[in-house]
DNA sequence: GGACAGGAAGTCC
DNA sequence: GGACTTCCTGTC
């Protein structure tokens, strides 16, 4: 495993905006790309950085050339959650070397350069399961809209450092309480019954000790949920479980394979970090090499 | 202007 | 292979 021996050291501070922590900006860490590459749907650009909720905590993250600041996060939050969430123990220079050694030379180098600074987050499992069930046959602005209304309707209140009230992602039992009809009212459409099935499976213990399962078993468990197929399962494993070998193939990646790899790419020979590479390729094709504005 | 097809980080039957 | 919720875009 390509990891650093420890997480970056942080110091805690306070200014007129409130309490924050700061640490030295790691290599290959760019919040604008990390939070706008389709792996999470709960953050938005805000006052020069990005802001949103993770693990029930509202944070405002800012970066300069050398420093990262996180408002709303104290040292305890950092060690308990955010350091891991932001995958700050990963050595992306080594990860990139591993990727380059497995992929045919050419487009992957361009893709990595365009996506330089992207990191794969380690997001809470339940929220990630729901988010990617909602993502199917859907576009990113609408996915965000649905998740926001889901939180506002059924999530617990969060008291934020800026004095405002926001809402956490609803728990499985909350979703079961609101039922399929309640979910349909939030424009989830045919995905409402999938979310209910996921909540029932969760309550039944299908995802207990999930982090101890190897890739094949974890995927098998995910595929028992209605509405989770191969692509969504791989997204969940990649964006929540640090299974960097998971390689979700969506319409954009199909396009990449057709355009740059002659229609075939052997998914079994892409190495331990194929999923990270997938994110670079997705980013390149979706945001860089596609002229259309996304708003 | 407004109708309409096409498409969106897919999956089910 | 068609259907599925909803919504946004481009075209005529």
At a 7 A CB cut-off, the residues bordering strand B are: A 37-39, 135-140, 142, 190, 225-233, 235, 248, 250-253, 278-279, 282, 286
For A263-282, what is each residue's pLDDT tens digit? 888 888 999 999 999 999 99
**Max CA-CA distance within chain A?**
56
Q: Which neighbouring-strand residues pair with A94?
A: none
| pLDDT of A288 higher than 80 | yes
Show the tokens assigned to A133: 């069930």
Query: CA A9 → C1' C7, Å?
Result: 45
Query: CA A150 → C1' B9, Å?
Result: 20
For A24-48, what is each residue's pLDDT tens digit? 999 999 999 999 899 999 999 999 9
Query: CA A10 → C1' B8, Å?
Result: 40
For A208-224, what is each residue's pLDDT tens digit? 999 999 999 999 999 99
Integer Cα distance of A121 and A38 in angstroms? 11
Query: CA A139 → C1' C11, Å?
Result: 21
Query: Is strand C within 7 Å of residue A184 (CB)?
Result: yes
Query: CA A102 → C1' C4, Å?
Result: 38
Nearest nt (C1') from A293 Cα: C9
Sign of CA dihedral A179, A56, A35, A87: negative
pLDDT of residue A289: 78
If DSSP codes are grouped into helix, strand and coil, which group holds residue A50?
strand
pLDDT of residue A268: 87
pLDDT of residue A294: 40
Confidence band, pLDDT 50/70/90 cuts, at residue A159: very high
Query: Is strand C within 7 Å of residue A142 (CB)?
Result: yes
Confidence band, pLDDT 50/70/90 cuts, at residue A292: very low
The pTM assigned to this predicted structure is: 0.95
Let me know if A17 is a catalytic residue.
Answer: no
Question: Which positions of chain C lie under 7 Å from any protein Cβ?
Answer: 4-10
Query: Which class for A220: exposed (0-12), middle (13-18), buried (19 or more C-beta within 10 A)?
Result: exposed
- Catalytic residue, chosen from A9, A231, A254, A292, is A231
Integer Cα distance of A186 and A190 in angstroms? 11
Nearest nt (C1') from A295 Cα: C8
Is residue A2 within 8 A of residue A95, CB to CB? The reply is yes
Question: Which positions of chain B lie under 7 Å from any protein Cβ?
Answer: 7-13
pLDDT of residue A142: 92
Nearest nt (C1') from A41 Cα: B9
Is residue A118 within 8 A of residue A30, CB to CB? The reply is yes
Nearest CA among A193, A194, A56 for reference residue A129: A194
SS (H, E, C) A142-208: HHHHHHHHHHHHHCCEEECCCCCEEECCCCHHHHHHHHHHHHHHCCCHHHHHHHHHHHHHHHCCCCC
Residue with tokens 């050694």: A101
Q: Where are the beta strands (DSSP E) in A26-154?
A: 43-46, 49-54, 57-63, 67-71
Query: Is strand C within 7 Å of residue A9 (CB)?
Result: no
| pLDDT of A63 higher than 60 | yes
């Amino acid at each position: 495993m390509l990891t650093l021996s420890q997480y970056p050291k942080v110091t805690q501070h306070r200014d007129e905006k409130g309490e924050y922590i700061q640490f030295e900006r790691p290599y290959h860490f760019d919040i604008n790309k990390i939070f706008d590459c389709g792996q999470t749907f709960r953050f938005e650009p805000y006052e020069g950085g990005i802001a949103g909720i993770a693990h029930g905590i509202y944070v405002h993250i800012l970066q300069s050339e050398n420093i990262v600041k996180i408002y709303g996060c104290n040292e305890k939050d950092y060690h308990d959650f955010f350091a891991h969430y932001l995958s700050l123990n990963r050595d992306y220079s080594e990860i990139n070397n591993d990727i380059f050694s497995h992929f045919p030379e050419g487009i992957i180098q361009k893709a990595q350069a365009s996506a330089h600074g992207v990191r794969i987050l380690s997001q809470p499992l339940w929220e990630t399961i729901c988010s990617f069930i909602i993502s199917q046959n859907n576009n990113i602005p609408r996915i965000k809209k649905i998740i926001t209304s889901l939180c506002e309707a059924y999530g617990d209140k969060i008291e934020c450092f800026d004095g405002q009230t926001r809402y956490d992602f609803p728990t499985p039992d909350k979703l079961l309480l609101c039922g399929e009809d309640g979910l349909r009212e939030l424009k989830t459409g045919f995905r409402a019954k999938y979310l209910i099935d996921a909540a029932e499976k969760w309550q039944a213990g299908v995802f207990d000790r999930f982090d101890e399962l190897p890739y094949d078993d974890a995927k098998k468990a995910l595929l028992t949920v209605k509405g989770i197929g191969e692509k969504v399962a791989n997204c969940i494993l990649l964006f929540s479980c640090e299974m960097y070998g998971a390689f979700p193939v969506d319409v954009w990646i199909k396009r990449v394979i057709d355009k740059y790899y002659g229609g075939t790419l052997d998914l079994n020979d892409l190495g331990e970090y194929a999923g990270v590479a997938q994110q670079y390729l997705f980013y390149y094709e979706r945001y860089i090499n596609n002229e259309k504005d996304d708003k």
